[in-house]
Structure formats: structure tokens, C-alpha cells
Structure 1
Amino acid sequence: MENRSYFRNEILRIEGLRITQYSAYPVFILLFLTYLFIMVSNLGIVMMIVVEKALHKPMYLLFCNLPVNDALNATVVLPGLLKDILAESDRYISYAACVIQAFGVHTFNTCTHSILIIMAFDRYVAICNPLRYNTIMTNKMVVRLSVIAWVAAAVPVIILLALTLRLSHCTSTILNPYCDNPSLFKLSCDNLSVNQIFGVFITVVVLIISISCISLTYLKIAHVCLKNQNSTLKSKAIKTCSTHLILYLIHFGCSCTVIILHRFSAYEELRNLASILIYVIPTSLNPVIYGLQTKEIRHWIEQIFLRRKVIPG
């Protein structure tokens, strides 16, 4: 018990982020501006949907989950990295804080998959069952789907971290730029087979479920569009589904890159870079792609700039 309590109060050293003295400030400025853009763009879209009554539709209310998740996802990692870049000494973090960060890292990344699945379901109902859309996609259904998306992401992460917490430690150095589950269980010299197998199992299950659900949804949508000769329906399907598919492919590609590189210790520097970019690329591109491709959001943004342009005159 005393030994276990010691581990819980242990201070860990994170050495995954290696930046030279000359590149520290340019990297800091670039990362800071990116983080600022991520927060302003994502939270701006959320506020836009909350304020504008015309956007109080299931499609946009479900989408609200994504920018909120992106803002939280970036906040879990990027502020700590910004602090580390300016610090001249190594970064130290308590074991408890490291576990909390790992929980956020995995939950928010997994939640992106579940959010995109419920968004795909909304598009399926809108295109394949338009007459029943308002009956199916009620406010109660929107809340239910949103809760399912977040809970489904958190539960497997809790199990993963519970398996890691049972391990003893033989080192106190995190080789990643931030805390995640693989970095935590690699602190132990115990048999890690259960952690590795279950970690791979959860990853594969999440990817298979997301790929299967979204593929099935798009196949059904494509079938309806090919069967129906309505050009308006086809145009609507292409616009809404292409945006959703681009968001999914960006996140899927970034996630797979990090997962694959985690299995090869020889590419540690590349893995560290990819581990950071996964919190930069999807979180900054999602609001831009969705905002530019969605007619109502684009129109609302244009109205804001037009009002500001007219008022001074």
C-alpha cells in the first residue's frame, strides 16, 4: 500500500519535446497563434450556433459537439507545450496530473470518431428519410446522441487507464511530448501484455466501428441518390456529405499515423512531431472546412462582416 501511494505522488519528467534554443521562439509564436486560432474559430462557431436561431437545427446542434471537443482537445495538450518551449529546464508533472491529461487525450480523440458517427446518422436520416426527419431528429434525440457520443468515448479510456494504474514503476521519464496511456504503462517493468493487447483491441474496435458506420451510411445515401433523379437532393447530399467525409478522413489519417508510429521506437522524433500535429491540423481545419462549406454558417459570417463594413459609413 505504501509503495502504491508513493507512485501516486511521484513526479514524472517529460522529455519528449526537444527544441533548440534558436528555434524556441519561432515555434512558440507559431504554436501560440495556431492555438489562438483554434480557440477563436471553434468557440466562435459554437457561439454563432447558440445565438443565431436559424441555426437551431439538429444538424448544427450535433455539430456543436465537434468544435467543443476540438477546443478541449487542443487545451489538454497545447498550453503545456507552449509552457515547455519557453522553459529552460525539463518539464515535470505529477503522476496524478499525468493520468488526468492522458484521460483527456484519449477521450477527446475517441470522441471525435463518435461525434462524426452521430453526424453521419443525421445526414442519413435527412437524405434517406426526409419526410420523417423532424419526427426522428427531435431535441430529445439530439441530446441522447450527444450523450452517447461522449460516454462511449470515455468508458473504454477509463478501463485502459485502470489497467495502467495497477502497474508498479521502474522509471519516471515520459518519452512523449505529453502524457498518454502508452507513455504511462511504459514506466513499468512489469508484464505489459494485458495493457498492450487491450490497448490495440480498443483502438481496432473504435476504428472498425467508425469506418463501418460511416461507410454503411454513405453507401445508403449513395444508393438513394442514384435511385432518385432529383438533382436538388443529389446536390444537397454532395455538399453536406463531402464536408463530413473530409473531416473524417483528416482525423482518421492523423490518428492512424500516430498509432502506427507508436509501434516503432526508431521513429521517435517523427512520432513526437505527429503527436503534436494531431492537435493542430484537425482542430484548426475542422471549423474552416465546415464553416466555408456550410451555406447557413457562411452566410451568417458574411452578414457580420457586411454589418461592420456598413456601420462606419
Structure 2
Amino acid sequence: MEDTSLNDSLHLTLEPFVLPPGGKYPIFIVGILVYLFSVFCNMTVLILIIVEKDFHRPMYFILFSLPLNDFIGISAMLPKVLLDIVTETSMVYYPLCVLQGFLLHMYGGGVLFVLTAMAFDRYIAICNPLRYNTIMTPCTVMIIIVLAWGADFILIGSLFFLQVRLPRCNNSLTNVYCDNPSLLKLTCADTTMNNIFGLCTTAIMQLISISVQVFSYVQILIACLVNRQSDAKSKAINTCVAQLVVFLLFEFTSTFTILSHRFKNISSNLQKITGMLIFLLPPVLNPIVYGMKTKELRNTLIKVMTKQVSSR
């Protein structure tokens, strides 16, 4: 009897989508196509950086973390949601729920820290081009990457450590996937410390990311205005626009998601969909943005595809 009770306490119920009759299979198929497209695009970027020696440079070593992080984000969320839709189960094992929430929050923090590292790299490359190779040594690049992922892991790990220590008195989540706010609603204990730490963690991540990126891009803009050479301006635009678009896309989807939960007249399904956008749009659009705005990446991909076609 005790084992059954313990087993039940480890299974949580997710709030399902309210779907029209016959709607689950079309939604499942569309969702799978979106997921496969995102995985294909992000894996293509990762493989190109690994295989092509021209990309074995600091800029691309740091860029490598972005599609990897996007792959983690969409894989941690979408397959489980689609499985729940097609099987109509909406159940999750508590440890797996915590793992999903941890990975999703790691993804969010990872976007900010990786884009911060990329902005710093572009600042050195454009504002101090003669010292770039001296500053951005393999050791420095490794330290930057470890700091980005390490800071993300420590902050999010601490957030979830505070969460899992709380007793649970409810097994029903108010979301279609697991995240820290939904998990906190399962407890009847005081969550003040968790809420304060969560807000501080978000503020620290945003402050570090926005500060470094604003400083970097302002300095890059000044360098462009001072340097009248058109090729220097073109280089600055081509290497920075993609990063700015990715950052603004992430911030827009984050803000839109937060605002959507402030309006009570929005339907439950729409709120769930907007909550998923932050884990869907960036992983799908980021590789496209970089493919379009990064000339080296685009040309190499075309060259590789042309070779594959001509060899058949």
C-alpha cells in the first residue's frame, strides 16, 4: 500500500490541450515536421563547424554552442508535448518533469550567455582586429565557453535545488510542459525564497547579457562610423546583424509569452501555445538567420550540397 502511494506521488498530471475532434493527428504531424526541420537545420550547422576546417576559429567555436543549445531546448519540450497530444495521456514522472524543467531553463539562460560571448567576440574582432588572435586564443575561447555554460548551470541548478527540497501536496501541473513556476505551484510550503531567487536569477542573466551586448554593439557602431572603409562597415554589419536578430527574436518571444499570461481574456489553449513559442521559434529560425546573414556559412553549405549532388 505504501509503495502504491509513493508511486502515485511520483506521477504528475499535465494540463492538456483542448483539441477539436480529429485534430490531434494533424497537429502531431505538423509538430513532428517542425521538430525534424529544426533538428536538421541545427545539426547541419553543428556538423559544418565540426567537419569544415575553415570554421575552426574562435567565432565558430563560440557559435557552436548556439545550435547545440537550440537543439536541447526544442528536444526537451516538443517531443513530450506531441506524445501527450497523440496518446491523450498527459502524465509525467516527477524526476523526468524536474529534468525537463531544468533543461528548458538551461536553454533560456544558455541563449543569453552564448549571445553575450558571441557579442564579445565580435567586439574584439571589429574594434581590435590587430589584437584579435592575441586575445582570442584557444585557451581564452575555452574559458569563455566554460564560463557561459558554467554560469548557466550553476544559476539554474541552484534554482531547481531550492525547488525540489519543498514538499509537494498537489500532483496537477497547470501547463503542458514542466517548468519552475508550474512545479512551485505543487507545494503548499512558503515559496518566497524561491520566487526571490528566481527573479534575481532572471535579472542577473538579463543584466549581464544586455550590458555586454549593448556595450559591444555601441563600440562596433562607433568603429563603423569612424572607419570610412566600406568593407569594414560591411564586415561589421554581416557579422553582427544575425546576432542582433537572434537576440531580439528571443527577447520578443519571451516578452510576448510573459504578457500573454497577464490577460485573462486569452484562451487557455492560446496561452499554452504562446508559452511554447520561446522553445519553438528561436530553434527553428536561428539557423535560418545565420544561414542567410553569415556568408561563409551559407557558401560552405551550398558548396557541400553541390558536391553531394554532383557525386551522384
Measured against the shorter chain, the TM-score band is: over 0.9
CA displacement at 1:61 relative to structure 2: 1.1
1:257 corresponds to:
256
Aligned mates of 2:305, 2:47 — CA distance in 1: 16
TM (norm. structure 1) is 0.92
Note if contact 1:16-1:174 (Cα within 8 Å) is conserved in structure 2: no
CA displacement at 1:17 relative to structure 2: 3.1
Note if contact 2:50-2:56 (Cα within 8 Å) is conserved in structure 1: yes
1:79 pairs with 2:79: yes
2:280 corresponds to:
280
Aligned mates of 1:115, 1:281 — CA distance in 2: 17
1:8-157 alignment, distance < 5 Å: 10-88=10-88, 90-157=89-156
Change (3 A) 1:275 1:43: same
Note if contact 1:12-1:174 (Cα within 8 Å) is conserved in structure 2: yes
Unaligned runs of 5+ in 2: none
1:214 corresponds to:
213
Change (3 A) 1:137 1:196: same
Aligned mates of 1:151, 1:198 — CA distance in 2: 18
Question: 1:257-310: CA deviations, max 9, x gaps?
Answer: 223445566644333111222222100111111012111111112112322443
Aligned mates of 1:139, 1:266 — CA distance in 2: 53
Note if contact 2:257-2:277 (Cα within 8 Å) is conserved in structure 1: no
Aligned mates of 1:257, 1:6 — CA distance in 2: 39
CA displacement at 1:16 relative to structure 2: 4.1
Structure 2 counterpart of 1:215, which letter? V
Question: 1:28-79: CA deviations, max 9, x gaps?
Answer: 1111001001111101111111111111111111100000111111111111
CA displacement at 1:129 relative to structure 2: 0.3
Note if contact 1:113-1:210 (Cα within 8 Å) is conserved in structure 2: yes
Aligned mates of 2:139, 2:16 — CA distance in 1: 44
1:183 corresponds to:
182
Note if contact 1:42-1:67 (Cα within 8 Å) is conserved in structure 2: yes
CA displacement at 1:8 relative to structure 2: 10
TM (norm. structure 2) is 0.93
Note if contact 1:254-1:278 (Cα within 8 Å) is conserved in structure 2: yes
Structure 2 counterpart of 1:94, which letter? Y
Note if contact 1:16-1:178 (Cα within 8 Å) is conserved in structure 2: no
1:228 corresponds to:
227
2:173 corresponds to:
174
SS for the counterpart of 1:93 is: strand
Unaligned runs of 5+ in 1: none
SS for the counterpart of 2:188 is: coil
Note if contact 2:9-2:171 (Cα within 8 Å) is conserved in structure 1: no
CA displacement at 1:256 relative to structure 2: 2.2
Aligned mates of 2:205, 2:39 — CA distance in 1: 27
Aligned mates of 1:66, 1:183 — CA distance in 2: 26
Change (3 A) 1:221 1:213: same
CA displacement at 1:27 relative to structure 2: 0.9
Change (3 A) 1:106 1:25: same
Change (3 A) 1:261 1:170: farther
Aligned mates of 1:205, 1:16 — CA distance in 2: 33
Q: Identity across aligned pairs (percent)?
A: 39
CA displacement at 1:250 relative to structure 2: 0.5
CA displacement at 1:201 relative to structure 2: 2.1
CA displacement at 1:7 relative to structure 2: 9.2
1:303 pairs with 2:291: no
- What CA RMSD, in Å, does the superposition of the two structures yield over aligned residues? 2.0
Aligned mates of 2:27, 2:238 — CA distance in 1: 36
Aligned mates of 1:162, 1:310 — CA distance in 2: 54
Tell me whether 157-166 or 262-271 shows the greater mean CA deviation. 262-271
Note if contact 2:16-2:90 (Cα within 8 Å) is conserved in structure 1: no
1:234-245 alignment, distance < 5 Å: 234-245=233-244
